[in-house]
Amino acid sequence: MSAGGLKWLHELFPAYGFAAIEFPGYGALPGEPTEESIVAASEAQLKALGLPNERIILLGQSIGTGPAVEMAKRGWGTKLVLVTPFTSLPEVGASHFGGLPVRWLMLDRFESAQKAPGITMPVLVVHGDRDEVIPYALGAKLAPLFPHGELFTVPRGTHNDLWDVPEVVTTIGAFMARP
């Protein structure tokens, strides 16, 4: 995401600065978008920010929740916001292609549910109950697995409209502002 693409986040949360992690194979970053390359790029880009860890709040949306959870597991940040997250990519695949053995076929897994119990920072999960891409049930299942996780359900929220809901912005802003 370009700096211009982050402008709307700064407008929503003017007290914060934002940096977007670019994944290999997307935009200008060369390479293949594998779990390993995305995690490596995420960590490298976080290091390049040069910010003290206590000034970092991780926010991931959709596929970006997988690397955000991994960065939290590695000790990055002080809070974690997950918008439309999943428990694992194989579970997302199984929800769409239940008759196929996707759990065995998927190489990139982003096993967020397995990592969640070891992440002790505050975590906010935001999910719409009508998400057509990542089922709401996966976000609802993930939130309580974090020792300090909380779920904010968006009634009638779909996968791509959550930032248009004022309560989402208010809830995320209040979460980020907590000491």
Q: Which residues are catalytic?
A: 62, 131, 159
Cα–Cα distance for residue pair 129/139, rounded to 1 Å: 9
**Chain centroid to CA 179:** 21
DSSP three-state, residue 118: helix
Look at the alpha carbons of 31, 93, 124, 61 in this order and tell me if their dihedral is positive or negative: positive
Cα–Cα distance for residue pair 95/34, rounded to 1 Å: 21
Give the residue from 56, 78, 80 showing the smallest Cα distance to 68.
80
Cα–Cα distance for residue pair 99/105, rounded to 1 Å: 13
Give the residue from 120, 154, 148, 149 showing the smallest Cα distance to 134.
154
Which tokens belong to 122?
A: 């505050």
Give the residue from 26, 20, 27, 23 showing the smallest Cα distance to 5.
20
